[in-house]
Structure 1
């Protein structure tokens, strides 16, 4: 892979400072991150597509190139610094309500779109340090159970009715969000309890991962309150809510209406390239580290982002994820555009399921 292609994965670092620049400028400039992500980038996505796949001869070199993992690991302390800066600013400066809203939204979009996404990449690594970095990122957005549920739950049950993170055909985002947020937490709790029972370890013991999942964010919240009072606490919790809601909206987009067939033996067909929506838009794919090549990720969960491939046979989104988030927030518009694509997919695969 040429250096220009590699350097695109540094573009996220141009977006990370935007909330602080908006705060410095003041007023409605606090929404500059929101405008960049949901206006400017979708326009660029509309113009520039990217279906480039690395050649088989490149794969060994790409796997051995430390640039790709270092780009991700360097982000972890950067997010911590960003949050500490946000807590400091919120605690020491008086803001109008709309300035607070814009700043908190902006930080949450970074910690969600950047932080949770990179935590997702790291949790799939077979490396204890990298998995620990994933947990640290998730702690900062109060969503540590995602570490358990995503790999051991979502990847197993994706595109089935048993998966709380797969949106059903005809299900609006606003019906999906409470179902997935509550369902994912319950699923993670069940999976962790099952793991502890298999290892004959007590639920109320240091072996239980829910100790850090709940304890670490609670500790941060208490420290925020002690340092900056309600202003700091509400900011920390507010950015966390924005971050994990962004994650779940993306989950809604990624699998909406796609289903695996149930076989005669009661099991579901294997996950294939046709069970996730893909987007081959250059800029959003660079910012999201190929998360939008999602079908390849589900078919090859351990494959690092630099090797993920675009597949023409996968169902294709009309826009990158940032544009699709806007559509998802407006259900009539979402259904008008996406239901046709779902029905076309089902016709090709001889499926006929009713809307929810």
Structure 2
């Protein structure tokens, strides 16, 4: 029972944020205040590499559905608060940042879990729940593109070595939109329809945004629309920022099998719960239909710090490179990569101006110096 109960942590945080928006005043800080609280606890608590003992799909998915459906509720209550409570500029700013943060986590993991489901209703709700971060077309590109191309130069969600967070986010937002538009247009053309006919998912995505903002306007007026839209834009960029840490620097030969090693896992006690195991997703790349509660932590993987610690460090590229990702990649190249992958890794290191931590030019690797992260 405890394994089921603890995943209600995510909707619980959302409900507290909603109450804070409803009460107004300084309570609007609850949403953004959850971020440092969770970050600190996740970094201090011991890692959680336990396998879950959950059998009931219904009870396991109930908090996922709650977290997804609470996304628009958060926006609507904040919009009402803007229109009815006498919020200061600082309190409105806190609400904007809190909405953005909660749209990304638990918003992204919850909607991601639903649109990877086999059920049509779950996929529909997962797709349009992403209106909270302006990305209702992401489902196909993620499922078809990322899950096929992960670790290769073709994957827009895999950051190559030397690419800092800021450049990656700007590129990824632009590239994901381009791929989303083209993928659906190509499919329509193959079926004999116009590339941007009314059947294109772009028009449904825009309709979802218009309807969403119309409700916000009805609740809080134009000020609420502006504030909520600002949250959605910020969230959209933060979504790509989180992608940055999941596969950074890893390489895979195009066409080669995807293996558990082609992903970074983060086993923070709270982040596993709060993000519905999206930080424990090696198995997810082997079979994208596996529900979150059946994902088994890879105990042979390189142990990474809390995903929130990684997220914060990325804003200072030198800190991210030198304290976290270079030591991890050195181990990955020397202990996990195939000979062909080591050649790709060496070339990326060269292009990034990084160290060449291989002792042979034929792909054989030396054993790394005192590893920073221990095996699980």
Match of 1:279 in 2: 266
Three-state SS of the structure 2 residue aligned to 1:11 is: helix
- TM-score scaled by structure 1? 0.88
Counterparts in 2 of 1:20 and 1:224: CA distance versus 1, 3 Å: closer
How many residues are aligned here? 341
Give the Cα separation in 2 of the matches to 1:74 and 1:13.
Answer: 6
Three-state SS of the structure 2 residue aligned to 1:17 is: helix
Give the Cα separation in 2 of the matches to 1:78 and 1:227.
Answer: 17
Deviation for aligned residue 1:133: 0.9
Give the Cα separation in 2 of the matches to 1:170 and 1:268.
Answer: 24
Q: State which of 87, 108, 112 in structure 1 corresponds to 2:104.
A: 112
Alignment partner of 1:299 is 2:291:
no
Give the Cα separation in 1 of the matches to 2:15 and 2:214.
Answer: 26
1:302-352: per-residue Cα shift (whole Å, max 9, x none)? 100000011123333122x22221111221211112122112211222412
Deviation for aligned residue 1:223: 4.9
Alignment partner of 1:326 is 2:312:
yes
Q: State which of 297, 313, 326 in structure 2 corresponds to 1:339.
A: 326
Match of 1:97 in 2: 89
Q: Is the 8 A contact 1:38 1:323 kept in 2?
A: no
Match of 1:26 in 2: 25
Give the Cα separation in 1 of the matches to 2:154 and 2:126.
Answer: 25
Alignment partner of 1:43 is 2:62:
no
Give the Cα separation in 1 of the matches to 2:95 and 2:16.
Answer: 10
- TM-score scaled by structure 2? 0.84
Deviation for aligned residue 1:25: 6.3
1:185-207: per-residue Cα shift (whole Å, max 9, x none)? 11111111121122222234343
1:29-85: per-residue Cα shift (whole Å, max 9, x none)? 54443343234443344322211124xxx6xx72x5310122222333322222211
Counterparts in 2 of 1:25 and 1:289: CA distance versus 1, 3 Å: same
Q: State which of 225, 238, 258 in structure 2 corresponds to 1:233.
A: 225
Q: Is the 8 A contact 1:165 1:251 kept in 2?
A: yes
Counterparts in 2 of 1:257 and 1:5: CA distance versus 1, 3 Å: same
Match of 2:363 in 1: none
1:89-117: per-residue Cα shift (whole Å, max 9, x none)? 11233433321111111112112212222
Q: Which consecutive residues of structure 2, in runs of 5 or more, have no partner in the other structure? A: 353-376
Q: Which consecutive residues of structure 1, in runs of 5 or more, have no partner in the other structure? A: none
Give the Cα separation in 1 of the matches to 2:151 and 2:192.
Answer: 32
Alignment partner of 1:245 is 2:237:
yes
Q: Is the 8 A contact 2:128 2:208 kept in 1?
A: no
Alignment partner of 1:68 is 2:67:
no
Three-state SS of the structure 2 residue aligned to 1:33 is: helix
Deviation for aligned residue 1:233: 1.4
Give the Cα separation in 1 of the matches to 2:71 and 2:195.
Answer: 32
Alignment partner of 1:148 is 2:147:
no
Give the Cα separation in 2 of the matches to 1:273 and 1:51.
Answer: 15
Match of 1:134 in 2: 126
Deviation for aligned residue 1:18: 3.5
Match of 1:6 in 2: 4
Give the Cα separation in 2 of the matches to 1:316 and 1:200.
Answer: 49
Give the Cα separation in 2 of the matches to 1:346 and 1:97.
Answer: 49
Which protein, 1 or 2, shows the higher relative CO under an 8 Å CA cutoff with sep ≥ 6?
A: 1
Deviation for aligned residue 1:12: 0.8
1:142-172: per-residue Cα shift (whole Å, max 9, x none)? 2112122111111111111111111111111
Alignment partner of 1:201 is 2:188:
no
Give the Cα separation in 1 of the matches to 2:287 and 2:173.
Answer: 25
Counterparts in 2 of 1:118 and 1:164: CA distance versus 1, 3 Å: same
Deviation for aligned residue 1:222: 4.6
